[in-house]
Structure 1
């Protein structure tokens, strides 16, 4: 009888055996013991360490440690996170394919206009990433690109229903660890400003469909659309934001996540109070993203760069520009680790 019990296929016995073996294995391998990082959220120390070993580059460790110490001394009440969206919060590669951007995923009802916007991309994108073109010249080219693209969206009669369908069919996903990062920051009332050269209405729809929730501490600063009563695009609000002019001078365009009925996510921290948060964690995948904090008189800034492609050609410039560089479409666990260190301070 005992022999049969030991070899039973009962789910309870199998699970019990697995649990005992797992506990024994964890005792022998303490690096894999999970550490608490936020409410109802665990992450393995080993996973973070592996991500660091494979993808983390820091040029000046002493400078980084000084910044971390300075931020820790004032605590989370002085901290804010400024993040790019496309290829920073979202993944660059998905199942071996290039993930779509908030601009690129959009499909209009009239395919002719999708083709026209694709031709603009094929002409301007190589100019955007060309290392020999000056920032001044690139800025003019990006303004041309965005203005032409936005004009095509209006001319083509884009509707909000097309945005919903486009997001539903899109090849877009968030980096692993983004939800946990947002939850951790939300618990500590640390604002997250998403700066994007894309389209705010699409970003909101991506958050809604892919994360199935909103966060009260998140604001979006991006190109925002105006729709008529039939749900058809008629104009864009405010100044055009492209990849090279994102900064906190555009903070008056910041808006909490809301739905089409105008209901916001309940964010209470206004734009004036955001400006009093003088410690910044900046997340971006483009050197131009460093300008996102230009309008803020910050005291300390830790810039985290995500170098997703063309690593051999771009690593040297990214190392000089960013305090921390993650390579090869790395997950967000390392940033969560950094933020949790900064928030675990005597300033809180």
Structure 2
């Protein structure tokens, strides 16, 4: 690693992670055993740094976390600390990021996949759409412009089936109750810490806001005033039946801050009227970002924001050997093997002590 030419300004008592990153970024490089010279290394070919498990979780079996560029991460931490909590916001993906990838030894359900309309015919039709469009979603050979149109087509057809099939919010409540979905350990502690410091959390999802909110209500059993959900929102009639969707469609390729007009606080009850975010301008003024995601594409969630600093935290839940290089290049920190949220809690405590 190259030594830091301009070390960040630290407070008199910097926190452990920041100290360790600075120490590692300044550590002498190993010499080549044949030449006796330290090998050269650029930011592109820098090897990832495996941090001890204790830094990402209190569990004795916690996975390691990976930091490819501790120098840059240390600088970002110091800059965000210096700016203070009034300049920070958190942007988080939902499925596979706030929620666990594995559930009781099997793949956990997504907020979209858990939904059962109470009508087997329409559940089967939505599954058929998934089988058709999902291979397109993950195909690397289709141009993004073409893929985006197909994703919007998929979402629109699915929403049409939900309306036509007579989805009710009672069906949503039961679907969540029966679902194999759970938050990562440490999520509540993270939300509580952020709420105490009035740091807004924007939860972005290409799924359905009403389902996400029901997952919050049933699985966390509490609400947080600083959390807003940016996702597809349903409109119900007086009988609790879905009649429309509100605003533009959010799918996997347009999930970013351009969709902030869809944001609203987590509702206290299912079927509550859809409100809008009342502090849009304040969020725009928060120019330091902590971004949490489980796909490299989640980095686009901050595209609509003119930020000064962004720390991107990635959760690499599966295919680790194949994907680690790309993830460690894209994210500042990568947590492996469906890790708990404890490492992020520690990071936030250092960003905003």
- Same fold at TM > 0.5: yes
Matches within 5 A, 1:244-283: 244-258=253-267, 259-260=269-270, 262=272, 270-283=279-292
Aligned counterpart, 1:9: none
Q: Secondary structure at the match of 1:305?
A: strand
Aligned length: 300
Q: Deviations over 1:241-283 (max 9, x none)?
A: 1111111111111101112463899x99611111111100000
CA distance in 1, matches of 2:60, 2:294: 17
5+ unaligned residues in a row in structure 1: which ranges? 1-43
Which of 301, 305, 310 lines up with 2:314 in the alignment?
A: 305
Which of 99, 117, 120 lines up with 1:90 in the alignment?
A: 99
Aligned counterpart, 1:204: 213
Which of 327, 337, 342 lines up with 1:333 in the alignment?
A: 342
Q: Secondary structure at the match of 1:48?
A: coil
> Retained in 2: the 8 A contact 1:92–1:329?
yes
Q: Does 1:176 align with 2:176?
A: no
Which of 67, 70, 74 lines up with 2:79 in the alignment?
A: 70
Q: Secondary structure at the match of 1:128?
A: helix
CA distance in 2, matches of 1:268, 1:105: 27
State the 1:131 CA deviation: 3.7
> Retained in 1: the 8 A contact 2:168–2:241?
yes
State the 1:138 CA deviation: 2.9
Q: Secondary structure at the match of 1:102?
A: coil
TM normalised by structure 1 equals 0.81
CA distance in 1, matches of 2:270, 2:156: 24
Higher Rg of the two aligned structures:
1
Q: Deviations over 1:18-54 (max 9, x none)?
A: xxxxxxxxxxxxxxxxxxxxxxxxxx96772668973
Deviates more, 1:302-311 or 1:120-129: 120-129
> Retained in 1: the 8 A contact 2:195–2:224?
yes
Aligned counterpart, 2:298: 289
> Retained in 1: the 8 A contact 2:56–2:62?
no
Q: Secondary structure at the match of 2:118?
A: coil
> Retained in 2: the 8 A contact 1:51–1:331?
no
Aligned counterpart, 2:230: 221
> Retained in 2: the 8 A contact 1:52–1:334?
no
> Retained in 2: the 8 A contact 1:195–1:220?
yes
Q: Does 1:318 align with 2:327?
A: yes
Q: Which has the higher helix share?
A: 1
CA distance in 1, matches of 2:165, 2:274: 29
Aligned CA RMSD, in angstroms, stands at 2.3
5+ unaligned residues in a row in structure 2: which ranges? 1-52
State the 1:121 CA deviation: 1.7
Aligned counterpart, 1:241: 250
Deviates more, 1:54-63 or 1:85-94: 54-63
State the 1:193 CA deviation: 0.5
Q: 1:45 to 1:55 in 2, by over 3 A?
A: closer
Q: 1:157 to 1:295 in 2, by over 3 A?
A: same
Q: Deviations over 1:66-94 (max 9, x none)?
A: 11111011111111100010111001100
> Retained in 1: the 8 A contact 2:62–2:339?
no
CA distance in 2, matches of 1:333, 1:297: 28
State the 1:124 CA deviation: 2.2
